[in-house]
Amino acid sequence: MDAEFFTAMAVTKRFGGVTALLDLSLAIQRSQIYSLIGPNGAGKSTFFNAVTGFDPPDSGSIQFQGRELVGLAPEAVATARIARTYQNIRLFKSMTALENVIVGRHVLMRAGVFGAVFNPPPTRREEETAETRAFELLDFVGLRGREAEVSINLSYGDQRRLEIARALALEPELLLLDEPTAGMSPAETSAVADLVLHLRDERGLTVLLVEHDMSVVMGISDRITVMDYGEEIARGTPDEVQNDPRVLEAYLGGAA
């Protein structure tokens, strides 16, 4: 029905002599958890940067709800309701957890960041809504009571959760998570997996996930694309890909 929610077609990206993405194509249906996996250097983060306008591809097309994303600046992609987290956490280090989440919402606000700085009367109500919503999101990701902490003082796992809250403040329809459980304990990891499932099942959110923890990937993904050296080597359900000999070879270096 909604076959064209998100489609990438023949996306290619080179860095000098390195082909980070080669003719990568994939289609995501609304409310799916779609995972991108593959060894380090496979091109997963490069794909996120291509989707979000941070580093556009050399060729190919990426369409979201019928709209071409290639050529849009990051702010325009965010306005199209695509939010992301980063493999290397990017928070405003000296801001509190609450402030980081509020800033994440600014693209949604009519007045934008400049209006927030000058704070004319029409934006005050928006600011109050943003703050209320930020409290809810921090609660949702498990950071209740930590709102006033300066983000650099949070543990690594808490900073990752804060990044998710900040991304959700944008009220995205598509959420891109780049290794959200990296550096987390098993308990923290399973809490994040539950959170992603909740976002899909309770809010109908669509999630594009890059994740190294295979129990998470195989446990929560609807579909998976396996990449190696920028190319798709397998695609399908968790059952399909984990029995694919090319996947075993890419991960085990031919030992299979």
Interacting residues toward ligand ADP by CB under 6 A? 15, 18, 20, 38, 40-46
CB of 150 to ligand ADP, least distance (A): 29
Do strands 231-236 and 223-228 pair parallel, antiparallel, or not at all (unpaired)? antiparallel
The least distance separating ligand ADP from the CB of residue 230, rounded to whole angstroms, comes to 7
The most distant pair of C-alpha atoms in the chain lies apart, rounded to whole Å, by 65
> Which C-beta is closer to ligand ADP: that of 22 or that of 108?
22
> CB under 5 to 8 A by kind: which of Mg ion, ligand ADP, none does 18 bind?
ligand ADP
Q: Which is nearer to ligand ADP, 15 or 156 (CB)?
A: 15
Closer of 40 and 94 to ligand ADP (Cβ): 40
Helix (H) or strand (E) holding 49: helix 44-51
Paired strand residues for 177: 209
Q: Which residues of the chain form contacts with Mg ion (CB under 5 A)?
A: 44-45, 87
Q: Using alpha carbons, select from 222, 246, 223, 248 the residue that is nearest to residue 234.
A: 246
Q: Which of 17, 247, 90 is nearest to 255 (CA)?
A: 247
User: Choosing among Mg ion, ligand ADP, none, which partner's interface includes residue 156 (Cβ < 5 to 8 Å by kind)?
Assistant: none
CB of 18 to ligand ADP, least distance (A): 5
Closest approach, Cβ 26 to ligand ADP, in A, equals: 14
Cβ proximity to Mg ion, 44 vs 84, nearer residue: 44
Q: Which does 53 bind (CB under 5 to 8 A by kind): Mg ion, ligand ADP, none?
A: none
Residue 170 interacts, among ligand ADP, Mg ion, none and using kind-specific CB cut-offs from 5 to 8 Å, with: none
Residue 166's nearest CA partner among 190, 138, 189, 125 is 138
Q: State which residue, 6 or 47, has the beta carbon closest to Mg ion.
A: 47
Going by C-alpha positions, the residue among 18, 26, 15 that lies closest to residue 51 is 26
Sheet with 67-68: strands ordered across: 18-28, 6-15, 59-64, 67-68
Q: Minimum Å distance from CB 250 to ligand ADP?
A: 12
Binding partner of 199, given Mg ion, ligand ADP, none, CB within 5-8 angstroms per partner class: none
Q: Which does 41 bind (CB under 5 to 8 A by kind): ligand ADP, Mg ion, none?
A: ligand ADP
**Closest distance to Mg ion from the beta carbon of 10 (Å):** 21
Q: Which residues contact 163 (CB under 8 A, 6 or more apart)?
A: 85, 86, 89, 90, 91, 180
Give 44 or 166: the residue with its C-beta nearer to Mg ion: 44
Closest CA to 175 of 133, 148, 210, 140: 210
Backbone angles phi, psi at 186, to 5 degrees: -55, -35
